Amino acid sequence: MTALLHSHDGDGAPLPPEGRHRTSVHVRGGVGATRVDLEELRHLADRLADVVRDTGRLAAALRVAQQDLALDAALAPAAAAAADAAVDTALHGWWGVRRLAEEASALLTALRYTRWLYEEAELAAHVQQPAPSWVGYLRVLVYQFSLVHAGISVGSRLVLVGRLPGFRPRTAGQAALAGFGALVNAVVGDERLPPDGVALDHAVRELGEHGQYIVPWFLVPRPFGYDGRRIDPDALTGAQRLVIPVITLFHTVTGRTPGTATDLRISVAPPREVPPAPDLPAVVDALHDVHQDHGAAPGTLEVRRTDHPDGTRSWTVLLPSTQAMAPGGRNPVDNLTNVEAYGELVNDVEIGAARAMELAGVRPGEPVALVGFSQGGLIATRMAADPLLRSRFTITTVVTAGSPVGHLRTPADTELLHLEHVEDPIVGLDGTSNPAEPERTTVSRSLATGTTGEQRFAVPPAESHSVAEYARTAALAVTAGEASVVHVAERLAAISGGPGARVTATAFTLERG
């Protein structure tokens, strides 16, 4: 599944603009301080569900009336034809019952998605998973049904994901998985299933809650040092407490940790002049330049220097998404880097990006924006919060697209903008909603409804997890004019370059020895 998702990281096939009608984005956090009444959303959803049900009944009654008119046509042909035309208009006209049902159904789905998003945000803000205790660990050891309970808890959340759009089974097991997902969708109903991003948030949270007991964390010192970083077990999420032992085991078995033995090599391409990216959508679209499907070498990131007309300089760092599935290979943009960054540990891409910034000539005090897609967003958020990097660089802005970063700390003196699609499974891997803080703005958009004029619940990864679609989401977010988005977009534009600015891009390719 991971390979399927990342095979579409660079760019999905764009949908034709024809037929699109107004769409919406959901904004949480930031300077706009959005407030939402969840009870009102539930009430509105209930009322809309009544409208959908009643329009269905009305449509059925009109179809019966058409059948009756067909039987009466022999008695009064002209009157029957006129009546049939009127009924047909009521059913299929521009504002007929059919269209009313479609619009009400789409709005109902959008309201449900909005409610789920804000409920997740409320949960993340007010519910903190407790650190593993000796009581919980003892329960795992002695309670004979604990593994069954864990399996049921995690499985009950995973089934909410339903079908896997775009998944082509190649084995009997994969066919069974696809069939089970289709069955869930058929039984529960597409419109009543949470989108994949929200469903996976639930599943990952449950998995972390049970999986964190693979080691006796209550015996681990608080805090402790690992690979030159200070780690406080109490501040980690359950999922992080699950992956960190896996990472340390991998490091122990392979005998390597990030940046050791000077085995990370950096190749520098000749600088080239590129057009300024004057706004948020252009900056997100620029992420194409560091992806292989647009000609970039594996392991490439890019540092862009902006020379402003007043003589000042600023910098934009573009960070790519996962490119190699097997961990620990020559290309460090891999799943080893994913789990290291997920656990808030130093990693090779972070080390390489810091070296690239030094080689590019970033000076202390010059503003830096980090922009990343998928894994790149994880790295960007990690770098902005790293005290060593903050002492060397002035990272003022971070933009992530399709990145699971809700569990990562909010960096001081840095503003973050997160772009997410609720159908994108990758954004649900953090197991929590992004915090709604003044320094962090999250823009969520559904691709299932309100985008193409019809509801499309089977949104494939080629669309939900693609740079191209996230650039469109950025454009919609800016057009919406919400204060939090406008604030960060203007801050980013001041760095990426406006009229009269000159932008020089340098590509750096990372490779492990």
pLDDT digits (tens, 9 = 90+) for 145-194: 455 555 555 555 555 565 555 566 677 776 776 676 666 666 666 666 77
Q: Region 210-221: what's the mean pLDDT?
A: 81
Per-residue pLDDT of 449-492, as tens digits, reads 654 456 667 777 778 899 999 999 999 999 988 889 999 999 99
Q: Looking up tokens 């001041």, which residue turns up?
A: 494
CA distance 103 to 296: 43
- Most confident option among 78-92, 213-227, 467-481: 467-481
Are 102 and 454 contacting, i.e. CB atoms less than 8 angstroms apart? yes
Query: pLDDT, tens digit, for every residue of 278-314?
Result: 999 999 999 999 998 888 999 999 999 999 999 999 9
Contacts of 511 (CB under 8 A, 6+ apart): 264, 265, 266, 267, 299, 330, 331, 332
In this structure, of 138-142, 172-176, 233-237, the range with the lowest mean pLDDT score is 138-142
Q: How far apart are CA 396 and CA 430, in angstroms?
A: 23
Spatial neighbors of 66 by CB under 8 A, at least 6 apart, are 84, 87, 88, 91
- Overall pTM surpassing 0.85 (yes/no): no
Which two tokens mark 309?
Answer: 């007309």
Residue 203 binned pLDDT confidence (cut-offs 50, 70, 90): confident
